Homo-oligomer: A and B are copies of this chain.
Amino acid sequence: MSEKFKIDTNRKSRLGFDEVIFGASKSITLLNELLDEYTRKNENVLITKLKKDKAHSLLSTFKNAFYDEDSQIFILNQIEAHSTEYKVGIISAGSSDIGVANEAFYTLSYMGINAKVILDVGVAGLHRLLNSIDVLKTFDVLIVVAGFEGALPTVVGGLLPQPIIAVPTSVGYGIAKNGETALNAMLTSCANGIVVTNIDNGYGAAMGALRILNLKGQ
């Protein structure tokens, strides 16, 4: 009836990074075909939002692949550390946000950027954040991850001058509305120049950071 997919072959030369696969809605059959194609072309590939059961099925076929259960990220071939200098600081309000923080972390690693994750600096215990300020100043870009009321980027944005990409998470319940409250709070932050991604989009924040670092010439 139709070909199943079209790979965006010149994205790297056009944009400076490769295509990435959204795993959530694809069947295991389609994913196998895609990974076969990348294997045949001897290329690496990143899959986001891949459920555990699909991942384990793929892992049994693609033995070199890496999968992180918290972030649901799947990488065809293991990636290695690139340098010892941290370019991007990924900070989160609570340890429940680890999945989204890790999605940003592994995406950056895959793109060749070294990042550091710092959890549990939420504003309900402000001293934890204030004690981390000197470390936070050393990063080129900050990715700030928070669920519930999403106040962390606002406080960080009032304290630090770097580019700040705020990532709301679906952590919370009730009127947290699966992250919509955190998203809206970040978008209406009274701190200046905070920019925002979709809910749980650690991947997108990493790509935004990559665009910024590419500008700086890394």
Contact = CB atoms under 8 A, between A and B. Distances in A.
Contacts of A151: 123, 149, 151, 154-155, 185, 189-190
Interface in A1-25: 1-6, 8, 10-11, 14-17, 19-20, 22, 24-25
A184 B187 contact: no
A155 B123 contact: yes
Contacts of A145: none
B197 A187 contact: yes
A56 interface: no
A6 B116 CA distance: 15
Given A158-B123, A163-B211, A204 B192 contact: yes
Given A20-B192, A188-B181, A96 B15 contact: no
Copies of this chain, how many?
8
Contacts of A75: none
A113 to B, nearest CB: 12
Give the bracket for the number of chain A residues in contact with chain B: 35 or more
Given A16-B161, A150-B185, A163-B212, A190 B123 contact: yes
Given A1-B105, A124-B154, A163-B215, 18 more contacts: A4-B98, A5-B120, A6-B120, A17-B192, A27-B70, A30-B98, A122-B190, A148-B189, A149-B154, A151-B155, A162-B215, A174-B200, A175-B187, A177-B184, A185-B185, A194-B208, A195-B197, A196-B196
B185 A199 contact: no
A217 B164 CA distance: 16
B200 A123 contact: no
A136 interface: no
Nearest to A5: B95
